[in-house]
Amino acid sequence: MERIPVAGPWITEREVRYAADAATHGWYARAGEYPARFERAFAQYVGRRHAVALPSCTSAIHLALSALRVGPGDEVIVPDCTWIATAAPIQYVGATPVFADVEPETWCLSDRTVAACLSARTRAIIAVDLYGGMPDYPALLALAADRGVPVLEDAAEAVGSECGGQRAGSFGAASLFSFHGSKTLTTGEGGMLVTDDPALHARVLTLRDHGRPPGDKLFVNTEVAYKYKMSAVQAALGLAQLERIEELVARKREIFGWYSTELGALPGITLNAEPPQTRNSYWMVTAVFAPDTGLTCREVMAALDAQGIDSRPFFHPLSSLPAYASEPQAALARARNKAAYDLSPRAINLPSALCLRREQVGRVCGVLKSLLACAG
Ligand SMILES: Cc1ncc(COP(=O)(O)O)c(C=O)c1O
C-alpha cells in the first residue's frame, strides 16, 4: 500500500530549469541576481515595498525583532498555538514571550485574547496566520495602534491567504514567510521578510550580513550581527514557484474542497474556518473532533498510521511544552488559555501535500468516517 505523506511540494520542469540555471551561472558577480528577482516579485505579489530573502522564517522573525530593538525586559505576545519558531526568537533577543489564547473558530489571536495579555512591558505582538487561516487583522491592528505596539505577521503558513481583500504578508510592521519543504511555496529551506518601512528594511539588510551596511564593498563591519542570506539556487527555485503561485494555491483549495465534500456535513468533525472577508489558502487541512466523540489526536493519528497515512498533531500549546516548563509566563498561560488547551488535544493535521490525489483523500476520509461511526 502506497504511504500517504502529510506534506510535500509540487515541482515542475520550470523549477528544475531555474535551479539548474542558478547552479550553472549564479556565482560571484551574478550570485545576487536570482535573490533580487525573487525579492522584487515577492514584494509585488504580497503588496509590500520591500522584501528580503533569508534562510528561514525563524531568521526572519529574529531579524524583525532585532530591527524593532526588542530586548531584555520587553514582552512579546504570541499565540499559544503555533510552531515554536514563532516564539523562540523572542528569547534569542533576550525578551520574554507571553502566550495569548486563540479564538476557537479561527485558531488565531484576536483583539480580545491579546488585550488580556497586554502590559506596560509589551513591545511587540506576533500574530500567526495559522494553517493558512487569518486573524481579524482590522480589530487586532486597531488595538495595537491604540497601545502603540508594533505587530509582526507570522505568515509562514499563509502565502496566498487574504483578509479584507489584502494578501497575507501585508499586515503590520513586517511580515515573515517560510519556504520550508512542507510549505505551499518552497525553496527547500528559506524565508522572506517583507515590509513597507524603509528604515526597518535598511536595518534588516545590515543585520543579516554581519553588520555590513547595504552597498559595502570594502568589507567594513559596523557591528557584530548575523549571517542570514538565501543562495541563488534557492531563490531560483522560489522564483519559479512564485510564478506558479495561483496554481499552487488553487491546488491547496481543491484538496480542502475534496475533504470538505467528504467530511464537511458529518457531525462531530470541524475543518478549517474561512470567515467572511477572508480567503484561506489551507496550508494544512485540519480536523477538530467534537468533545462528545471522545476522539483524541493521538488515537486518530495511530489509526491513520496503521492504514499507511501520515498526519501531524495540531500544535501543542507552547506553554505546555517542556521547553517552557520553567517560564513563569507559561504557568500563567496554562491557567488562562482555555481555547488553546481545549482545542489542541482533539485536533489533527491531515495529509495536505500538493501531490495528493483525490482517491488518497478518499482513503483518509474512509478511516475518519469509520472512527466517527464507532465514536461517542
Ligand atoms: C507558524 C510558523 N512560524 C514560523 C515557522 C518557521 O519557519 P522556518 O522553518 O522556515 O524557520 C514555521 C515553520 O513551519 C511556522 O509554521
User: In sequence order, what are the residues at sequence separation of 6 or more whose Cβ sits closer than 8 angstroms to the Cβ of residue 342?
Assistant: 104, 291
Q: Supply the mean pLDDT for the chain.
A: 97
> Ligand 1 mean position to 156 CA, how many Å?
5
Q: Look at residue 1 in the predicted model and tell me its pLDDT.
A: 80
Range of the structural domain that residue 345 is part of: 245-374
Q: Decide if 317 is inside a domain.
A: yes
Q: Decide if 6 is inside a domain.
A: no
Closest-CA residue, ligand 1 atom 5, reads: 85
Ligand 1 site residues (CB inside 6 A) read 56-58, 82-83, 85-86, 128, 154, 156-157, 178, 180, 191
> Ligand 1 mean position to 26 CA, how many Å?
27
Q: Look at residue 165 in the predicted model and tell me its pLDDT.
A: 96
Q: Decide if 2 is inside a domain.
A: no
Q: Decide if 4 is inside a domain.
A: no
Q: Look at residue 95 in the predicted model and tell me its pLDDT.
A: 98
**Looking at residue 121, which CATH number applies to its domain?**
3.40.640.10
Q: List pLDDT tens digits, range 147-202.
A: 999 999 999 999 999 999 999 999 999 999 999 999 999 999 999 999 999 999 99
235 and 265 inside one domain: no
187 and 122 inside one domain: yes
pLDDT tier for residue 37 given thresholds of 50, 70 and 90: very high
Q: Is residue 351 over pLDDT 90?
A: yes
**Of 193, 223, 243, at which residue does a domain stop?**
243
Segment 31-48 mean pLDDT: 98
Number of domains in the chain: 2
> Ligand 1 mean position to 80 CA, how many Å?
15
Ligand 1 atom nearest 61 alpha carbon? 4
Closest-CA residue, ligand 1 atom 12, reads: 156
Q: Look at residue 375 in the predicted model and tell me its pLDDT.
A: 86
159 and 139 inside one domain: yes
Pairing of strands 286-289, 269-271: antiparallel
**Looking at residue 310, which CATH number applies to its domain?**
3.90.1150.10
CA distance 319 to 189: 27
> Ligand 1 mean position to 352 CA, how many Å?
16
**Of 213, 243, 273, at which residue does a domain stop?**
243
Out of 108, 130, 157, mutate this one to test ligand 1's pocket (max ligand atoms within 8 Å of CB): namely: 157
Q: Decide if 306 is inside a domain.
A: yes
> Ligand 1 mean position to 376 CA, how many Å?
35
Q: Decide if 3 is inside a domain.
A: no
Q: Decide if 181 is inside a domain.
A: yes
Q: Is residue 376 over pLDDT 80?
A: no
68 and 120 inside one domain: yes
201 and 250 inside one domain: no
Half-sphere exposure of 370 (CA within 13 A, CB side): 9
**pTM of the predicted model as reported, rounded to 2 decimal places:** 0.98
Segment 339-351 mean pLDDT: 97
> Ligand 1 mean position to 148 CA, how many Å?
26
Q: Is residue 366 over pLDDT 80?
A: yes
134 and 166 inside one domain: yes
**Of 226, 243, 260, at which residue does a domain stop?**
243
DSSP structure string for 295-346? --HHHHHHHHHHTTB--EEPPPBGGGSGGGTT-HHHHHHHHH-HHHHHHGGG
Q: List pLDDT tens digits, range 62-120.
A: 999 999 999 999 999 999 999 999 999 999 999 999 999 999 999 999 999 999 999 99
232 and 257 inside one domain: no
Q: Is residue 43 over pLDDT 70?
A: yes
